[in-house]
Amino acid sequence: MFKLLNGPQTLGESRVFWISFLLVVSVAMLYPAAADAYDVGNVAYLLTWTFMAMGLCLVWGYGGMLSFGQTLFFGVAGYAYAVVATNFGGDAGTTFLALIIALLLACTVAAVLGYFMIWGRVNGVFFGIVTLSATLVLSFFLGQTAGPEWRIGSARLNGFNGMKDMPALNVPWAGGEPLTFEGVPLYYLVLVLVLVVYLGLRVLLNSRFGNVIVAMREDPQRAELLGYDVRKFQLATFVIGSGLAGLSGVLYTSWGQFITPASIGLPAAAMPIIWVAFSGRSDITATLVGSFIVLWVFQVLTVYSQQAALLLMGAMLLCTVIVAPQGFVIGLVQGMRRLMVKGAAPGAPAEGEITA
Amino acid sequence: MIAEIFSFFYQFADVFAFLILSAAGLAIVFGMMGVINMAHGEFIMCGAYVTVGLVHAGFPLPLAQLCGALAAGLIGVVVEWTLVRKLYKRPLDSLLATWGLSLVVTQGMLLVFGSSVAGIGTPEGSFMLGEYSFSVYRMVLFVAALGVLAGIYLVFMRTRFGVHARATMQNAAIAQATGVRVNRVYALSFGIGAGLAGFCGALYAPTMTLIPTMGAAFLVESFVTVVVGGANVLLGTAPAGILLAVIRTALNGWGGQIVGQIGMLLAVILVIRVLPEGMSGWFARRSR
Amino acid sequence: MTVLLETRQLSKRFGGHAAVSNVDLSVSAGEIHCLIGPNGAGKSTLFKLIVGLHSASSGQVTFQGADVTRHQPFERVKLGMSIKMQAPGVFKELPVRQNLRIALQHHVRPSELTAEEDRLLELLGLTADAARPAGVLAHGQQQWLEIGMALALKPALLLMDEPTAGLSPEETYITGELMKKLNSEGMTVLVVEHDMAFIRQIAQQVTVLHFGEVFARGTIGEVIADARVAEIYLGKTRDH
């Protein structure tokens, strides 16, 4: 299985890459010792969005399906967590039960919507329009749930104001007090999850499954004529990618102890598209690195002016489509590689060229 | 009794006008070039802002509205020439690029103009039927929507430009080979689409608060109408407008505005699944 | 000889137009069967019906004894068909080696994949291009790559729609020899073709379609000698 960490579907497979990777991970592990709690919590916050980005990379970049539904599943899971955690209180691991229920719900909704679209041969731009419409339906619906009659159990949905003060993720811990995942503990939890998801996706993408989904992205009919039920692969891809968005939703809700319809509708729904398009949707590493950078820049700018931050996002999307449709991070990597090939001895294989 | 019937017709006409006026420009651009213009709302906003600005400067309302439409149309031609032209045959990329443009424009306007600008009041004038009072201006909008449909019919069916445009829509390469200046057709069509959007904004400016994000209020409706209608403006947008206006009026009456919007979005989802080419595709196939 | 593929009264109507009418076709195991006919005869439509890309208006398709009339294409492939459509269907953005891998991974173990890919690359003469995107290959090489992918499925029945389209006469001849070699090793082949030289090179059994119906059938010798067949192609009888 570890052999599959490298393969035809992922960039970065040389020894240099993996050594750098281990360096980055080590630095990340030691970071809380050197930084103050606020910054650590902030980095954890930024990292929670990367699951949604990686999920979209899987669905769009590798699977060829443009889904505007990432925030839909973000919202479904976030609200589900809020409802379950509020209803069952916050101790003895019920919050992790809430997490599991939320993820299952997000995946179920994805399976239903995905089945409807994929078996209905909805593809291309229309896939995007249907997922966007579904996302807007949820956002509009939740926005008008302000009245007291809109409740699930003891949890009121609260319309535009959203839900808040639900218990954060916590586990029973030695010494009586449960360990609440905020600040440094949350940072480590999210970091571990990011590593597991990233490496897991690398393995998945380089496996037979990955070979099939890139083939079906290129030419679905040809993939089918090679004996693959393309619809099932597309559905699996869609559910996994959407489930990852749900993971972002739960972690976000737990981190801030709130969730509102604003996280679901526009312009929130456009954000994952911008991160992934800008980074380079056809590679998982580019998406992870690029999205983190974009999220960080966006956060820095929002402090000064939210309009300026959103304007920059719009400009980035525009530039990406016109100038570097394959993504700027990927463009950068390819540019560097070309420089390195020029420097290498003639006849030596270019770094990263597909080898068996 | 007559008042009741007219009241329903009035509500229907109100929604119908809204759908047609907001969708007409988008339908032309989509039908002609396969481009999904996510910045459509911003052309509407442009028309509205120019109109209001000119009225404040002393122009009479109808003239200001015409200028608003014209301004949007001219900007549309520029946008086509600089951006959209590179994105034909790339529907996904045109959707993303115009979405980026939309963000840039709305946020830019928010930075420059702040969130709201003093508007203008709705022209007064109402008439009574039975116990109900109806606004004259709303009926003007309905007449304007019919006028837009008639205008589109005349331009695309009865002028030389229209013939060229329809030829380009069918097969651009062959049209070009017969001497049609395809680039000019595209630029003009996008300009017409943007101008119609501006016209929509200009017409509705007296009835709304002016904020840079006001285009968003039209976007869902216009999208739904275009998708349900299909690529052919005359064969699709008009019947879609009728059908959706009926549905929307009924839903509004039953559950309010939000239910109406949700209903429209669900209609999009269903239509894409069941009638991928919209109503115009269905009509076209039936006539074969 | 066992019948591998059979169609019974197979028909396809588009609106009011009958593209294929009541076609009975029979392909026995181990033979090379060619489907020919003038343009518009319905050959491609019939091919798509057999393969599953069109659904039949009426009639039946049987493969390896199973009724596959309502089967999706991938189900038919799993039963033992391997299909090459007319337009080059390689994955243009993916490397050549990857193209083969996707076909091979069905029944080759991961540890043996690379060796199998190398073997096929050698057979197709594409070893030097293994890492390049398939789209940069010359047209003829793309056709061969696609044939290679079709072969990688180790099918019971190889179906091809105009495999020599765009190939030079030399390439056509080599393709024909490859077909004969595979056939001698037991593979059954059904080919839709236009190129009479190619057909004469490889065909054993021939079915002629005209206006969507079976016009003639028999061995290659019988069909070539049939004056009526010449007439539908050339528009006049040989006696003139």
CB contact under 8 Å between A125 and B262, yes or no, is no
Best A226, A233, A330 residue to mutate vs chain C (most C CBs within 10 Å): A226
Q: What is the pLDDT of residue A52?
A: 97
Place of tokens 């709304």: B208
Which chain C residues touch A353 with a CB distance below 8 Å? 131
Q: How far is C-alpha C98 from the chain's CA centre?
A: 23
Phi then psi dihedrals of residue B138, to 5 deg: -60, -35
Residues A321-350 have pLDDT tens digits of: 888 888 888 888 888 888 887 765 454 444
How wide is the angle at C-alpha B102 spanned by C-alphas B96 and B105, nearest 5°?
A: 145
CB contact under 8 Å between B107 and A129, yes or no, is no
Q: How confident is the model at residue B143 (pLDDT cuts 50, 70, 90)?
A: very high
CB contact under 8 Å between B269 and A308, yes or no, is no
User: How do C17-28 and C3-14 pair as beta strands?
Assistant: antiparallel
Q: What is the pLDDT of residue A1?
A: 66
Residues A142-175 have pLDDT tens digits of: 988 888 888 888 888 888 888 988 888 888 777 7
Nearest CA in chain A to B276: A122
- Match domain C3-88+158-234 to its CATH number in 3.50.50.60, 3.30.70.100, 3.40.50.300, 3.40.50.620: 3.40.50.300
Of residues A226, A229, A354, nearest to C102 (C-beta):
A226
CB contact under 8 Å between A311 and B102, yes or no, is no
Q: Which two tokens stand for residue C152?
A: 């990688």
Cα(A8)–Cα(C33) distance, rounded to whole angstroms? 38
Asked if the B10-280 domain carries CATH number 3.40.50, the reply is no
> Minimal Cα–Cα distance from A1 to chain C, Å?
11
Stretch A1-24: mean pLDDT: 84
Q: What is the pLDDT of residue C163?
A: 87
Helices B2-33 and B160-170: angle between axes, nearest 10 degrees: 70
CB contact under 8 Å between A355 and C131, yes or no, is yes
Assigned CATH class of A2-343: mainly alpha
Mean pLDDT rounded to a whole number for chain A:
88
Stretch C211-225: mean pLDDT: 87
Q: What one-character-per-residue DSSP string does B49-77 give?
A: HHHHHHHHTT--HHHHHHHHHHHHHHHHH
Cα(A155)–Cα(B105) distance, rounded to whole angstroms? 39
Q: Please check whether residue A297 is in contact with residue A313, taking contact to mean a CB–CB distance below 8 angstroms.
A: no
In this complex, how many residue pairs, one in chain A and one in chain B, have their CB atoms less than 8 Å apart?
102
Structural element, H or E, at residue B236: none
Best C47, C51, C68, C74 residue to mutate vs chain A (most A CBs within 10 Å): C74
Q: What share of chain B is helix, strand, coil (3-state, %, to 5)?
A: 80, 5, 15
Start-to-end CA distance of chain C, whole Å, equals: 40
Q: How confident is the model at residue A244 (pLDDT cuts 50, 70, 90)?
A: very high
Q: List chain C domain ranges.
A: 3-88+158-234
C211 closest CA partner among C183, C232, C185: C232
Q: Please check whether residue C164 is in contact with residue C139, taking contact to mean a CB–CB distance below 8 angstroms.
A: no
Stretch B83-105: mean pLDDT: 87
Cα(A134)–Cα(A129) distance, rounded to whole angstroms? 9
Of residues B104, B265, B268, nearest to A315 (C-beta):
B104
Residues C22-42 have pLDDT tens digits of: 999 999 999 999 999 888 888
Q: Which two tokens stand for residue C6?
A: 């059979």
By the CB < 8 Å criterion, does C120 face chain A? no
Nearest CA in chain A to C78: A227
By the CB < 8 Å criterion, does B275 face chain A? no
C148 closest CA partner among C76, C88, C198: C88
Phi then psi dihedrals of residue A213, to 5 deg: -70, -35
Asked if pLDDT for residue A356 goes beyond 50, the answer is no
What are the residues facing C191 on neighbouring strands? C34, C160
Residues B167-183 have pLDDT tens digits of: 887 788 888 888 888 88
Residues A179-219 have pLDDT tens digits of: 888 888 899 999 999 999 999 999 999 999 999 999 999 99
> Minimal Cα–Cα distance from C115 to chain A, Å?
10
Choose the weakest-confidence range: A226-240, A248-262, C160-174.
C160-174
Q: How far is C-alpha A294 from the chain's CA centre?
A: 13
Best B88, B93, B99 residue to mutate vs chain A (most A CBs within 10 Å): B99
Q: List chain A domain ranges.
A: 2-343
Stretch C74-94: mean pLDDT: 90
A313 closest CA partner among C60, A300, A45: A300
Place of tokens 């034909």: B88
Q: What is the pLDDT of residue A167?
A: 86
In this complex, how many residue pairs, one in chain A and one in chain C, have their CB atoms less than 8 Å apart?
64
Residues in A whose CB is inside 8 Å of some CB of C read: 8, 208, 211-212, 214-215, 218-219, 221-230, 353-356
Best A119, A222, A228 residue to mutate vs chain C (most C CBs within 10 Å): A222
Q: What is the pLDDT of residue A343?
A: 62
Asked if pLDDT for residue A353 goes beyond 50, the answer is no
Residues A258-304 have pLDDT tens digits of: 999 999 988 899 999 999 999 999 999 999 999 999 999 999 999 98
Residues B196-213 have pLDDT tens digits of: 999 999 999 998 888 888
Asked if pLDDT for residue A354 goes beyond 50, the answer is no
> Minimal Cα–Cα distance from A239 to chain B, Å?
19
By the CB < 8 Å criterion, does C195 face chain A? no
CB contact under 8 Å between A125 and B36, yes or no, is yes
Cα(C143)–Cα(C198) distance, rounded to whole angstroms? 15
CB contact under 8 Å between B276 and A305, yes or no, is no
The answer for B 73-92 residues in CB contact with A (under 8 A) is: 83, 86-87, 91-92
Q: Which two tokens stand for residue B134?
A: 């109806």
What are the residues facing A179 on neighbouring strands? A171
Q: Residues of chain B with pLDDT > 90: what percent?
A: 30
CB contact under 8 Å between C91 and A219, yes or no, is yes
By the CB < 8 Å criterion, does B4 face chain A? no
Nearest CA in chain A to C106: A227
Best B42, B103, B225 residue to mutate vs chain A (most A CBs within 10 Å): B103
Tally the C-alpha atoms within 13 A of residue A341's C-alpha that lie toward its C-beta: 12
Which chain B residues touch A294 with a CB distance below 8 Å? none
SS (H, E, C) chain A: CHHHHCCCCCCCCCHHHHHHHHHHHHHHHHHHHHCCHHHHHHHHHHHHCHHHHHHHHHHHHHCCCCCCCHHHHHHHHHHHHHHHHHHHCCCCCHHHHHHHHHHHHHHHHHHHHHHHHHCCCCCCHHHHHHHHHHHHHHHHHHHCCCCCCCEECCEECCHHHCEECCCCCEECCCCCCCEECCHHHHHHHHHHHHHHHHHHHHHHHHCHHHHHHHHHHHCHHHHHHCCCCHHHHHHHHHHHHHHHHHHHHHHHHHHHCEECHHHCCCCHHHHHHHHHHHHCCCCHHHHHHHHHHHHHHHHHHHHHCHHHHHHHHHHHHHHHHHHCCCCHHHHHHHHHHHHHHHHCCCCCCCCCCCCC
CB contact under 8 Å between A221 and C131, yes or no, is no
Which chain A residues touch C72 with a CB distance below 8 Å? 224, 229
Q: How confident is the model at residue A309 (pLDDT cuts 50, 70, 90)?
A: very high
Best A307, A313, A320, A323 residue to mutate vs chain B (most B CBs within 10 Å): A307
Of residues A137, A274, A318, nearest to B101 (C-beta):
A318
By the CB < 8 Å criterion, does B270 face chain A? no
Q: Residues of chain C with pLDDT > 70: what percent?
A: 97
Q: What is the pLDDT of residue A123?
A: 84
B46 closest CA partner among B240, B262, B191: B191
Question: Bigger pLDDT: A40 or B133?
Answer: A40
Of residues A211, A218, A227, nearest to C101 (C-beta):
A211
CB contact under 8 Å between A353 and C131, yes or no, is yes
A281 closest CA partner among B102, B36, B93, C96: B93
Q: Please check whether residue A206 is in contact with residue A10, taking contact to mean a CB–CB distance below 8 angstroms.
A: yes
Cβ within 8 Å of residue A312, ≥6 positions away = A297, A298, A301
Phi then psi dihedrals of residue B196, to 5 deg: -65, -35
Mean pLDDT comparison of A122-136, A164-178, A281-295, B214-228, highest-scoring range: A281-295
Residues C108-152 have pLDDT tens digits of: 888 888 898 998 898 888 888 888 999 999 888 888 899 889 988
Q: Please check whether residue A236 is in contact with residue C109, taking contact to mean a CB–CB distance below 8 angstroms.
A: no
The radius of gyration of chain A's CA atoms, rounded to the nearest angstrom, is 21
CB contact under 8 Å between C153 and A227, yes or no, is yes
pTM of the entire predicted model: 0.89
ipTM of the complex: 0.87
Of residues A120, A136, A277, nearest to B265 (C-beta):
A136
Of residues B96, B111, B220, nearest to A273 (C-beta):
B96
Cα(C151)–Cα(C106) distance, rounded to whole angstroms? 12
Cβ within 8 Å of residue B114, ≥6 positions away = none
The radius of gyration of chain C's CA atoms, rounded to the nearest angstrom, is 18
Q: How confident is the model at residue C235 (pLDDT cuts 50, 70, 90)?
A: low
Stretch C189-204: mean pLDDT: 88
By the CB < 8 Å criterion, does B112 face chain A? no
